[in-house]
Amino acid sequence: MQSGLRENLLKVLDGKEDGIIPVLSVTQTATNGLMETTGAFWPQAHSSAFQMAELSLAAHTVGGLEAIRYPFCLTVLAEALGCEVDLGTINRPPEVMSHPFAEKVEKPDIPADLYDRARVPVVLETTRRLKNLAPNVPLIAGMEGPATLVYHLIGAQDYLKWALFKPETFKMYIREATCICEGYAKLLFEAGADVICLDDTVAGPETLDCLLFETLIKPSYQYLTHSIEGPVVIHMCGNTTSILSSLANCGFEGISIEESVSVAEAKSQIGSRTILIGNISTTNTLLYSTPEEVEEEALKCLEEGVDILAPGCGLAPETPVVNIRAMEQARDKYQNVFVK
Ligand SMILES: [Zn+2]
């Protein structure tokens, strides 16, 4: 069903139930095996549109995933805004090393040429390249959500301090970050992306309590999903159960959950308001178990009601390719037995 992958995903994200359950990842997909197959290795593949396209495409052509998800990190906007980034190694993803706006309580200075800076043009060029290479396969462009961007700009300490004691400054930063995310998402869609995935763990209950989420973050999400034309899904790591119902009112086309969230519980929280994406364990199962065990966990996710079968988080680079492929096999079995 190669030719219909894009159409099918968009249909599912639109809440139409007659499609085939997509098997994909909204979080990072590069593995050492795929790097060897393509010759596109970390860390170089973070800075080269050619390598980024080849490596992310391989998760579809070799790994069997039904979408192409790129880039492989959550540092692109932060770097363009002046954070120093360590690009990591073959096994370690890029990481933000400095927070240029820490302790600056005045309005942050946003460069006019922001989207021409650092690796933003690389991701946009990757999008155009992939659109040519695989026009029928959906492109999922990942990016830092507004909270993650603020967290990177001001650092963990100010992030928590301002959320509690300087909420107006915090909100001002979130508003700026929201505009940056909005502008970037627009460019990604123009370049050919089909879906945007905001990754925004630090907005969730592992970092901010639910009340702070409501007052400081939710308005930003509602604004973004309203202003961005095109499907937006959100991923948060950790146990997000306590905010799922509220998150389902933010206008996202899908919510991606980690394995610490129960699929059945998540489903009962969100109902039919949005699509549930998840949540095969990336460490316990995809990294360390056998394809049979991946299949077993995938079938459980499907039976409990995920709308899109996906890893619970970004793949560990050492994940065996056979385990990625096992997800698709599980979906095929499930749909043959239970749906036909
Ligand atoms: Zn995660």
Question: From the CA of 178, how far away is ligand 1's center (Å)?
Answer: 20
Question: From the CA of 113, how far away is ligand 1's center (Å)?
Answer: 30
Collect residues with CB below 5 Å from ion ligand 1.
237, 313
Question: From the CA of 273, how far away is ligand 1's center (Å)?
Answer: 22
Cα R_g (the chain), whole angstroms: 19
Question: From the CA of 312, how far away is ligand 1's center (Å)?
Answer: 6
CA atoms within 13 A of residue 26's CA, in its CB half-sphere: 34
Give per-residue burial for 218-246: e unless 16+ CB within 10 Å, then b.
bebbebbbeebebbbbbbbbbbbeebbeb
The reported pLDDT for the residue numbered 223 is 98
Mean pLDDT for back-to-back runs of 10 residues, the chain (340 residues): 83 88 98 98 98 98 98 98 98 97 85 97 98 97 98 97 97 97 98 98 97 98 97 98 98 98 96 96 96 97 97 98 97 77
For residue 190, what are the contacts with CB-CB under 8 A and spacing of at least 6? none
Question: From the CA of 340, how far away is ligand 1's center (Å)?
Answer: 33
- What's the CATH number where 216 sits? 3.20.20.210
The reported pLDDT for the residue numbered 109 is 84
The reported pLDDT for the residue numbered 333 is 94
The reported pLDDT for the residue numbered 3 is 61
The reported pLDDT for the residue numbered 11 is 95
Question: From the CA of 139, how far away is ligand 1's center (Å)?
Answer: 19
Q: What is the residue range of 170's domain?
A: 2-339
The reported pLDDT for the residue numbered 67 is 98
The reported pLDDT for the residue numbered 189 is 98
The reported pLDDT for the residue numbered 107 is 83
Say what the pTM is. 0.97
The reported pLDDT for the residue numbered 338 is 58
> Is the Cα torsion angle 27, 157, 91, 238 positive or negative in sign?
negative
Number of domains comprising the chain: 1
